[in-house]
Every structure is written in C-alpha cells, then in structure tokens.
Amino acid sequence: MAIAACGAVALTNAVPALAAPGDARARGVAVDLAATVAGVPVVTANAVIGTATAPDGGTDTDTGIAITIPGALGVTASGTVVQVSATRGDTASSANAQIADVALAVLDAPVLDADVISAAVSCPRQGAQTADTTFTGLTLFGDPIDLAPNTPGVTASGAVTVPGLTGAALNATVQNVETTTDDGAVAIAVQATLRLTGTLVTGTLIDIPVGTVTLAEARCERPLAPSPTPTQPTPSPTQPTPGPTEPTPGPTQPTAAPTQTMAPEQPPTSTPALPVTGGSASALWWLFGTGAAMVTVGATARLIARRTRESSLDV
C-alpha cells in the first residue's frame, strides 16, 4: 500500500501546468532530496543542471553541461546534459532535453543509471500537441527496467547504511510521463520518487519521504491565435466617412430650388404681349378720330365755300 501511494503521488505531481499560452521550457536533471534520521541530516541535494526557457519569439539553448551536485550530502551524480532547448513562436512552441551517461547514487546505492535519456514536446497552434520520451540502458538499483508512459511505473528498493537505523532501505518508484491536452504537452523521461524506511534503535519503524529526481523534462503550451479584434475597428472608422459625404447632396438640392423659383418670372415674360395688344387698339381709335376730324373739317370747308359762292351770285 505504501508503494502504491508513492506511485500515485509521483504521477500526480509530475504534470503541473505552465504559466501562459506559448510558454516552453526544458530541464536536463533536477534533484530535490532531503532526509533526516533522529534529528541528523543524512541526505541533502538540491540542484537543477541544464535549463532552457523560451523567450518571446525565440529560442533558448544550452549544451554540454556536466552533471554535478556541489555541496550534496549522501548523493552523487555524474554524466552530461547533451542539450536543453526551448522555442516560442507565433505558430508553435517546442522544447527538448537529452542527457547521456547519467549515474545517480543515494546513500551509496546505485539508484538510476542510463546511457541516453531524452524528452521532446511540440505544441503547434493548429494540430495535435505531441510528447515523446526515449531511454537507452536504463537501470534501477542495477537492474534494467522498461517504463510505459503514464502508468504507476516501476518500484524497487536497495539496502543502505544509515547511522542510528537498522534494516534501512531506499525505495524508489520510477515513472514516465507523456501527456498531451488541447492546450499543451509534458514529457518527463524519468521521474523518481524516493523514500527511506528502517527501524530506529528504539524499535520505531520509520518511513521518510526523501524527495524526487527528474531526468530529461520538456514542457510547452500551445500559442494562442492572433486576436481578430484589432483588425475589426479598421472598417469602423471608414464607415463614418460615407456619413459626411451624404449631406453633400443636400446643398446641391437647394440649388435646384432657385430653378423652380424662375416659374413666377415666366408670367412677366408673357405679359409684355398684353401692352402690345393694347397699343394696337389705341392706335386704331386714334386713326378713327383723325378720320372723323378730317371729315368734319372737309364738310365745314365745303359749307363755307358754298356760302361764299352763293353770296357772290346775289351780288
């Protein structure tokens, strides 16, 4: 039951999420171990060897790093971090880690050894996220093991010597993680969870969590698609532009109104014909008057001439 619990805890802690879309990072070796027996520290080791964190729109890479743990107590490590790399781009993010000739011993027990271990992830903006791990020559306490991804893993133990503890044993549960979601991927080639068990001189049984060791880890998050919102406001400013152009026909319509006001001026153009007609009537009456006057004058002249002739005859 204790071994099963260890496996469950290790698998649960192996897949934390990254901070934001597009993030990517890789680690070669991460050791976080500490144990105290009867108030005396027997194991102390805390180090990360080989890290890469993708910058915005670029790649971070480190190569050829020696695996050492300065200041460690009860822990020795050797080997090389061949490469750690992490890339972040607009269309995809990715990360990978590879280590070689690694050997990790705790309390003089050969916990983990391997020729080559690697982990790689790819997180395209479109398409499936991927996570892959590989092992060559992996052993646990000197025995070869084969890890299946996302399972309780393999558990083994080795006898160790610890002052003040009888029947001491170092127990290790080793797991492999290849996890993908819609938004990201995690690949951890080897995740080992260690515990120390034994009996104190007082007869008390102890089971102490020692910590974890991670070999070759890569994580990435899918980048978000560019937001279409910045491009949408562009048509909005252009739409008001037709608004101001519509009122321009307004001033043109009033120009047509003056053309209609010319209608009242048309009657005056036809009215001059009336004075012409009136002028012709007056001239006619003037002719009649003149004719009548001439007839009267003629008749009067004739009458005078007649009377003159009659007077001369009487004489």
Q: Tell me the DSSP string of 113-139.
A: EEEEEEEEEEEESSS--EEEEEEES-E
- Residue 66 and residue 99: Cα distance in Å, rounded? 10
Inform me whether the pLDDT recorded for 190 exceeds 80: yes
E strand or H helix that includes residue 289: helix 273-314
Q: How high is the pLDDT of residue 236?
A: 55
Work out how many domains the chain is built from and give that number: 2
Give domain status of residue 263, yes or no. no
Give domain status of residue 32, yes or no. yes
Give domain status of residue 62, yes or no. yes
Give domain status of residue 118, yes or no. yes
Print the domain residue range for 42: 2-221
* 65 shares a domain with 166: yes
Domain termination residue (choose one: 221, 236, 265): 221
% of the chain at pLDDT higher than 70: 66
The answer to whether 253 and 71 are in contact (CB under 8 A) is no
For residue 23 the two structure tokens come to 């993030």
Residue 86 CB partners (closer than 8 Å, separation 6+): 24, 25, 26, 52, 53, 54, 59, 60, 61, 93, 94, 95, 218, 220
> Do β-strands 130-136 and 109-124 pair in parallel, antiparallel, or remain unpaired?
antiparallel
* 180 shares a domain with 50: yes
Instruction: Tell me the pLDDT tens digit for each residue of 293-305.
Output: 565 655 555 655 5
| CA nearest neighbour of 17 among 213, 179, 214, 211 | 179
Inform me whether the pLDDT recorded for 261 exceeds 80: no
* 98 shares a domain with 170: yes
Summarize the chain as % helix, strand, coil (round to 5): 25, 50, 25
With 0.75 as the threshold, say if the pTM is over it: no
Instruction: Tell me the pLDDT tens digit for each residue of 203-223.
Output: 999 999 999 999 999 999 999
- Residue 170 and residue 270: Cα distance in Å, rounded? 126
* 156 shares a domain with 296: no
For residue 260 the two structure tokens come to 């209609």
Give 177-244 as a DSSP string.
Answer: EEEE-SSEEEEEEEEEEEEEEEEETTS-EEEEEEEEEEEEEEEEEPPPPPPSTTTTTTHHHHTTTHHH
Inform me whether the pLDDT recorded for 108 exceeds 50: yes
Inform me whether the pLDDT recorded for 17 exceeds 50: no
Q: How high is the pLDDT of residue 225?
A: 83
Inform me whether the pLDDT recorded for 61 exceeds 50: yes
Give domain status of residue 231, yes or no. no
Inform me whether the pLDDT recorded for 315 exceeds 50: no
Average pLDDT for 107-114: 97
* 56 shares a domain with 191: yes
Give domain status of residue 239, yes or no. no
- Residue 28 and residue 97: Cα distance in Å, rounded? 6
For residue 33 the two structure tokens come to 């171990």
For residue 310 the two structure tokens come to 């009659």
* 38 shares a domain with 184: yes
- Average pLDDT of the chain, as a whole number: 80
Inform me whether the pLDDT recorded for 273 exceeds 90: no
Give domain status of residue 147, yes or no. yes
Give domain status of residue 107, yes or no. yes
Inform me whether the pLDDT recorded for 313 exceeds 70: no
* 204 shares a domain with 131: yes
Quickly state the pLDDT bin for 259 (edges 50, 70, 90).
Answer: very low
Q: How high is the pLDDT of residue 104?
A: 98
